Amino acid sequence: MRKGIIAGNWKMNLTPDESVSLVEEVWERIANLDRVEVVVCPPFISIPRVRELLDSRKMRIHLGAQNMHWEESGAYTGEISPVMLKFYGVTHVIIGHSERRQYFGETDQAVNRKVLSALFHDLTPIMCVGESLKERESGHTKDVVVTQVKRGLFEVPGNLARRVIIAYEPVWAIGTGKAASGGDAQDVAHLIREVLTELYNEEISEEVRIQYGGSVSPDNISDFMSMPDIDGALVGGASIKSESFAELVRLA
């Protein structure tokens, strides 16, 4: 059985003080729940303070990052390495979010390097894939997603691939309030499992967790969680308010 996983992507929001307050408020509301894994992905600069809080109060919340470089160290001004993330007990890292692809020119090849590096450093990559509105309207959703999954997992051996989390996030649904329907998201999640079976085998395909992301809210989370191939959600806007994030975890 795959365990459900709700991850909050805070993007470029919240100072370290605000990050700590949000985690405290969320924890108050979810401390008695343990059926799903909860991950928060604050901005890098908040990670040390959030780590301290999670440890001091023994909170069952995992700490994630929103991006990383694939190298361990070197002349890469402005970047953060997997070794640095590990130092603060980061366990998950979002890779290839559409905002990184769109605004920072991240290619499938860069995504692949980061996925390999994260796995090599024992971090769990949350690899994002998804089509733009134009690609959807021209009927290319499936090709785009299949290509992104295959390129992102290029040369990732099966024993490591089973640890990858794939987030299907249609670009047109992110931050727009227009989520995909549960059925459409399920179709793509199912397709991703077919690709995984083709690349690896059915056992690995069944083990990989797939999230949906894009305008997930307490109003629609149950639609997604009830789908057989969807195991959780990657949440932006609704994850930076304690009531909605906690409610999402409770409903999931």
Report, as residue numbers or ranges, the catalytic residues: 97, 169
DSSP string across 45-102: GGHHHHHHHHHHTT---EEEES---SSSSSS-TT---HHHHHHTT--EEEES-HHHHH
CA angle 81, 83, 84 (to 5 degrees): 70
Q: How far is the CB of 71 from ligand PGA (least distance, A)?
A: 25
Q: Is 6 in the site for ligand PGA (CB under 6 A)?
A: no
The answer to whether 216 contacts ligand PGA (rule: CB under 6 A) is yes
Q: Which stretch binds ligand PGA (CB under 6 A): 23-31, 129-137, 201-209, 234-242?
A: 234-242
Judged by CB under 6 A, which of 67, 112, 215, 220 binds ligand PGA? Answer: 215
Of the ranges 83-91, 146-154, 221-229, 232-240, which one interacts with ligand PGA (CB under 6 A)?
232-240
**How does DSSP assign 8-48, residue by residue?**
EE--S---HHHHHHHHHHHHHHHTT--SSEEEEE--GGGHH
End-to-end CA distance of the chain: 15
Buried b / exposed e along 134-147 (16+ C-beta atoms within 10 A)? ebbeeeebeebbbe
By the rule CB under 6 A, 240 interacts with ligand PGA: no
The residue whose two tokens read 């024993």 is 159
Distance CA 51, CA 174 (A): 28
Residue 41 binding ligand PGA, by CB under 6 A: no
46 touching ligand PGA, by CB under 6 A: no
Could you say whether residue 133 binds ligand PGA (CB under 6 A)?
A: no
Determine if 9 is a binding residue for ligand PGA (CB under 6 A): yes
Give least dist CB 229 to ligand PGA, A.
18
Which residue from 111, 118, 106, 99 is spatially nearest to 213, judged by alpha carbons?
Answer: 99
Tokens of 140: 């290319």
Task: Report if residue 236 touches ligand PGA, rule: CB under 6 A.
Answer: yes
CA distance 62 to 67: 16
- Least distance in Å: CB of 216 to ligand PGA? 5
Q: Which amino acid is at 235?
A: V
**Helix 182-199 × helix 141-152 angle, to 10°:** 40
- Distance in Å, CB of 59 to ligand PGA, minimum: 22
Packing angle of the helix pair 242-251, 16-30 (nearest 10 deg): 40
Tell me the residue number closest to ligand PGA, measured at CB: 236
Q: Is residue 234 a contact residue for ligand PGA (CB under 6 A)? A: yes
Number of residues that bind ligand PGA (CB under 6 A): 13
- Considering only residues 139 to 198 of the shown chain, the ones binding ligand PGA according to CB under 6 A are 169, 174-175
Under rule CB under 6 A, residue 235 binds ligand PGA: yes
Binding ligand PGA (rule: CB under 6 A), the pick from 185, 213, 231, 252 is 213
Binding-site ranges for ligand PGA (CB under 6 A): 9, 169, 174-175, 213-216, 234-238
